[in-house]
Amino acid sequence: MAIRLLVDTCVWLDLAKDYREQPVISALEDLVENGHIELIVPQQVLDEFDRNKARIVGEARRGLQSHFRLVRQVVNQFGDDGRKADLLAGLNEVDHWIGVDGDAVGGSIERIDRLLRRAPALATSDAVKQRVTERALAKQAPYHRAKNSVGDAILVEMYVDVVSDATEDAPCVFITHNTKDFSDANGDFRKAHADLVHLFDAPKSSYWISMVEFLKDYCPDLLGEHDFEFNYSQEARRLPEILEAEHLLFRQVWYNRHWNLRHEIETGKHHVVAEKDYSPNPYRADQTLDTVWEGALAAAKRTEDEVGIENLGPWDDFEWGMINGKLSALRWILGDEWDMLDT
């Protein structure tokens, strides 16, 4: 009998946006087609995937175009004069195709969409909604963090129903990249949170944070047939990926500092003043011009809209340390000195 697989939306989106993940999609297609895996697709996952299609295509296109711009610069600066024109013409042609083609990720989105729609999606039942409410009131994972976790909780409760009739011959698998909401908060992220661990009693049920690792464990030979080893050898991150991650971390750090200043203003430790009352000389660290503060509030709103309030904290001391450490490391890679955390 088939393994029943419930996959979080974030996993499908990560598979869709990176062309290097296509061997994994191919392996899944084979396993589903041959009846070895049955995909369990909540309607919520289908809706979330649909909502993010355009964003994924845009990110993939911008990433590839940035990559080609860098290659053109290198060819233009260091290429052989006799071959440079042909090389640049070829690169420009590919760059143009990326800009006008609707799918810069090689058909991955369409392939995943077909997988998700092979069987009718599961609607969120009233019983699931009731259990989600009870989970929220009890502050059980994924409600153990200060964020809106309704979507995550729906997946948990749907998996409860799926795993209720699991057997050793027909086990269930839950795969997510969202370790903050689903994984052990104080130990091994590869293990489920203490509130959820009872759902993953082997061999009837298992928890994974990597589709690749699950497939390697379940069918390593099949992955080999899809050039898995070639595509998943250790590679350096692409520059657009590094720049995108650095920019997100920069905005997260800035937003946190903005809220620290906002708290000082609300508690009277810092003052927003008009220009006539501002003291530029001598400079006072406890004053901010009202026009500057208006701009900061507008910037904070833009950050909330563009980044998403769920990606802006609050964080505990460990998470905050990780965010600052990541920003420092990426900036070091990009040429700054260590511990460069200016915003």
Average pLDDT value for residue range 164-174: 91
Q: Per residue in 279-334, pLDDT tens? A: 877 878 888 888 888 888 998 898 888 888 888 888 888 888 899 999 999 999 88
The beta-strand segments (E) located in the chain are 3-7, 37-40, 172-175, 205-208, 271-273, 287-289
Q: Per residue in 68-84, pLDDT tens? A: 677 777 676 777 676 77
Exposure of 303 in the CB half-sphere (CA atoms within 13 A): 22
Distances (CA, A) of 287 to 10, 54, 269, 296: 43, 43, 9, 14
Average pLDDT value for residue range 10-24: 86
From CA 73, how far away is CA 91, in angstroms rounded?
Answer: 11
Q: What counts of helices (H) and strands (E) characterise the chain?
A: 14, 6
Q: What's the Rg (C-alpha) of the chain?
A: 24
Q: Of 51, 68, 48, 74, give the one whose Cα is nearest residue 150.
A: 48
Per-residue pLDDT band for 117 (boundaries 50, 70, 90) equals: very high
**In the numeric block, which tokens belong to residue 6?**
């419930």
* Residue bearing the bigger pLDDT, 233 or 132: 132
CB-CB contact of 16 with 108 (8 Å): yes
CB-CB contact of 256 with 317 (8 Å): no
Per-residue pLDDT band for 230 (boundaries 50, 70, 90) equals: very low
Residues 6+ apart with CB under 8 A from 194: 141, 184
Say how many C-beta atoms besides its own lie within 10 A of residue 78's C-beta.
8
Instruction: Say if residue 23 is preceded by a cis peptide, omega within 30 of 0.
Output: no
Percentage, residues of the chain above pLDDT 90: 38
Tokens 């006008």 locate to 100
What pLDDT sits at residue 53? 86
Average pLDDT value for residue range 13-39: 89
Q: Is 137 helix (H, G, I), strand (E, B) or coil?
A: helix
The beta-carbon contacts of 99-107 under 8 Å, at least 24 apart in sequence, are 99/61, 99/65, 102/57, 103/57, 104/57, 104/60, 104/61, 104/64, 105/16, 105/17, 105/18, 105/19, 105/56, 105/57, 105/60, 106/19, 106/22
CB-CB contact of 219 with 31 (8 Å): yes
Determine the angle formed by the axes of helices 126-138 and 150-163, rounding to 10 degrees.
120
